């Protein structure tokens, strides 16, 4: 069953049945631009003048949300399908499919691993309908241009439905490779910052945008500032240079469209996959489980760790309870989620909330989902937000520093110089795009249409805060878990999840 909706627009974004497009919208195309790891506080006149200018003249959402877990491939899948992990089935950057590998997780950043999953699941890599599939059903196409991982590029249009994927290590369909190399040359090597590959994908997009059969929807994904920030830290000279470079290339894209007389024919939407936090932890989940004797070795199948998910052999309830109890006592551990108990949002283990609280309850889900704790500490470069995960800087957690990301929409369909008072999420982008084109949306899409951003819309829905809580006793005190969400209609956005320990 499908819901009927309607489109006209020019959009810039960082984010991704059967139906027919409305004739009145013929000639209008959409460009989605995703900056990997873009925090809202990066967008200043000095740091990102091109994006800042767009923010000032378009519609801006300061309370836009990354989907938890706040990792790249979860959010690539969420935007492309307009749905949460509980629906699309990509649960982390690392995922566990025992039919493919019994003792370790698979890297969703590698297209080759995704192809192994697709083969093992009878072509059910994603368990939700994607934007590319919807467009193919009406004879339209989507093309992805990415300087990030091959897996992230593929997940945006995983069936290459009537379009293509252009990535330095992955060009699909293969028949496109000759045209790409003839138009923009072979891809340069990667780097941190990844300037050469950013330039390459920008040129590739402009080439296809200029063709007579340009795709209806195009998506550009810049791998920075994520790549440089992971290695050198938030606010480091290298990370700031990477931000300058991607903003410059974004300017090249807009200028290129303008010079070709195409800019007014494009909707541009800009967003990100996640924010970032400075990491200062000393302990990993897998190492902890081995030290405590829950996991025999790195390659044992008694307990398998995939990202922040823990899979216990045979879902042994006693072992699950013992692992959770041990984790609840560790100061570096934050929120802990388990399978639903059947009582509201309570998890199966005392002191946990269920996967449903964070939209992670899928048949592929593990037995435990663990977050690293976080704080608001300011790093040496003046950027707020710390995580007790190991590394230099990163993401994946439920802190507001990792969840909060920008959303900018500019063009004839959108309000000008408007700042939205309502929250939104990566799952809302594609439903909004389909609405603007008058294309029916599949029922698997959970996102809402962002009517508040559309020109001529004055009546806004209301937002309401809600807090989910649970607690339990631990040695020497108590462990409490709080999840704050904001509701707009039936949509529930996770603002943050926080663990608090009180010792006597």
Residue 236 C-beta-side C-alpha neighbours within 13 Å: 19
d(CA 220, CA 181) in angstroms, rounded, equals 18
> Mind listing the pLDDT tens digit for each residue in 221-238?
999 999 999 999 999 999
Whether pLDDT at 127 is above 60: yes
Residue 433 C-beta-side C-alpha neighbours within 13 Å: 37
With cut-offs at 50, 70 and 90, classify the pLDDT of residue 41: very high
Average pLDDT over residues 328-345: 96
List CB contacts of 323: < 8 A, sequence separation 6 or more: 289, 294, 303, 310, 312, 368
User: Of 279, 403, 275, 378, nearest to 332 (Cα)?
Assistant: 279
* Structure letter (DSSP) for residue 66: P
CB atoms within 10 A of CB 142: 28
- Cis amide linkage into residue 193, ω under 30° from 0: yes
Using DSSP's 3-state secondary structure scheme, residue 425 falls into strand
d(CA 68, CA 270) in angstroms, rounded, equals 19
Average pLDDT over residues 471-499: 97
What is the rounded average pLDDT for all residues in the chain? 93
Phi-psi region of 359 (alpha: psi -120 to 50; beta: other; left: phi over 0): left
Average pLDDT over residues 371-400: 98
Whether pLDDT at 25 is above 90: no
Helix axes 72-81, 429-437, angle to 10 degrees: 20
pLDDT of residue 180: 97
Residue 49 C-beta-side C-alpha neighbours within 13 Å: 4
Helix axes 195-209, 177-184, angle to 10 degrees: 110
d(CA 120, CA 102) in angstroms, rounded, equals 13
Residue 380 C-beta-side C-alpha neighbours within 13 Å: 8
User: Of 12, 2, 57, 8, nearest to 429 (Cα)?
Assistant: 12
pTM for this predicted structure = 0.94
Query: Per 3-state DSSP, what percentage of the chain is helix, strand, and coil (rounded to 5)?
Result: 30, 25, 40
- Specify the residue for token string 């439903």: 431
d(CA 143, CA 176) in angstroms, rounded, equals 11
Per DSSP bridges, beta strands 463-474 and 142-146 are unpaired
Whether pLDDT at 414 is above 60: yes
> Mind listing the pLDDT tens digit for each residue in 134-182?
999 999 999 999 999 999 999 999 999 779 999 999 999 999 999 999 9
Helix (H) or strand (E) holding 470: strand 463-474
Whether pLDDT at 16 is above 90: no
Average pLDDT over residues 435-451: 96
CB atoms within 10 A of CB 152: 27
Query: Which residues are 172's β-sheet partners?
Result: 165
Positive or negative, the CA dihedral 52, 55, 56, 62 is negative
Using DSSP's 3-state secondary structure scheme, residue 481 falls into strand
* Phi, psi (degrees; rounded to nearest 5) at 207: -60, -50
pLDDT of residue 162: 74
Helix (H) or strand (E) holding 63: strand 59-65
With cut-offs at 50, 70 and 90, classify the pLDDT of residue 28: confident
E-strand ranges in 259-352 read 266-271, 277-279, 303-306, 309-312, 333-338
User: Of 72, 71, 79, 372, nearest to 222 (Cα)?
Assistant: 72
Whether pLDDT at 19 is above 80: no
CB atoms within 10 A of CB 417: 10
Instruction: Judge whether 403 and 275 are in contact, CB under 8 Å.
Output: yes
With cut-offs at 50, 70 and 90, classify the pLDDT of residue 457: confident
With cut-offs at 50, 70 and 90, classify the pLDDT of residue 183: very high
Domains recognised in the chain with CATH numbers: 2-278+395-453 (3.40.720.10), 285-329+333-372+464-503 (no CATH)
Whether pLDDT at 123 is above 80: yes
pLDDT of residue 26: 59
Whether pLDDT at 114 is above 70: yes
pLDDT of residue 13: 35
pLDDT of residue 27: 78
């Amino acid at each position: 069953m499908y819901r009927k909706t309607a489109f006209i627009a020019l959009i810039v974004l960082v984010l991704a049945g059967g139906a027919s497009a409305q004739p009145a919208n013929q000639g209008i195309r959409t460009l989605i631009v995703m900056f990997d790891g873009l925090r809202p506080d990066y967008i200043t006149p000095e740091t990102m003048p091109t994006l800042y200018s767009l923010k000032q003249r378009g519609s801006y959402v300061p309370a836009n949300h990354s989907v938890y877990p706040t990792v790249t491939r979860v959010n690539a899948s969420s935007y492309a399908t307009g749905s949460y992990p509980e629906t699309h089935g990509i649960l982390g950057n690392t995922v566990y499919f025992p039919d493919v590998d019994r003792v370790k997780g698979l890297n969703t950043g590698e297209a080759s691993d995704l192809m192994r999953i697709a083969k093992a699941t009878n072509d059910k890599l994603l368990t939700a309908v994607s934007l590319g599939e919807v467009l193919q059903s009406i004879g339209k196409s989507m093309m992805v241009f990415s300087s990030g991982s091959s897996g992230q590029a593929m997940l945006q249009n995983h069936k290459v439905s009537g379009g293509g994927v252009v990535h330095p290590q992955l060009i699909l369909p293969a028949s496109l490779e000759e045209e790409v190399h003839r138009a923009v040359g072979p891809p340069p090597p990667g780097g941190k910052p990844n300037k050469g590959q950013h330039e390459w994908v920008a040129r590739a997009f402009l080439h296809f945008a200029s063709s007579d059969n340009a795709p209806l929807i195009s998506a550009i994904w810049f791998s920075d500032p994520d790549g440089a920030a992971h290695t050198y830290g938030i606010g480091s000279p290298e990370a700031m240079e990477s931000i300058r470079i991607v903003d410059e290339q974004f300017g090249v894209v807009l200028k290129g469209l303008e010079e070709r007389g195409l800019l007014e024919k494009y909707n541009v939407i800009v967003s990100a996959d996640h924010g970032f936090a400075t990491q200062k932890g000393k302990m990993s989940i897998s190492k902890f489980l081995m030290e405590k004797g829950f996991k025999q070795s790195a390659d044992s199948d008694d307990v398998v760790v995939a990202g922040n998910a823990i899979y216990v052999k045979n879902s042994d309830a006693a072992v699950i309870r013992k692992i959770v109890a041990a984790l609840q006592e560790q100061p570096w551990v934050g929120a802990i989620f388990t399978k639903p108990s059947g009582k509201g949002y309570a998890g199966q283990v005392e002191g946990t909330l269920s996967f449903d609280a964070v939209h992670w309850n899928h048949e592929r889900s593990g037995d435990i989902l663990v977050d690293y704790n976080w704080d608001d500490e300011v790093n040496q470069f003046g950027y707020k937000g710390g995580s007790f995960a190991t590394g230099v800087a990163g993401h994946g957690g439920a802190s507001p520093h990792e969840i909060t990301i920008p959303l900018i929409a500019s063009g004839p369909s959108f309000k000008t110089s408007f700042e939205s008072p309502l929250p939104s999420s990566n799952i809302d982008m594609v439903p909004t795009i389909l609405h603007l084109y008058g294309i029916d949306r599949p029922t698997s899409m959970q996102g809402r249409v962002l009517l508040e951003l559309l020109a001529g819309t004055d009546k806004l829905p209301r937002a309401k805060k809600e807090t989910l809580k649970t607690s339990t006793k631990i040695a020497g005190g108590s462990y409490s878990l709080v999840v704050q969400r904001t509701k707009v209609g039936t949509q529930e956005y996770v603002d943050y999840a926080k663990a608090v320990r009180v010792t006597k």
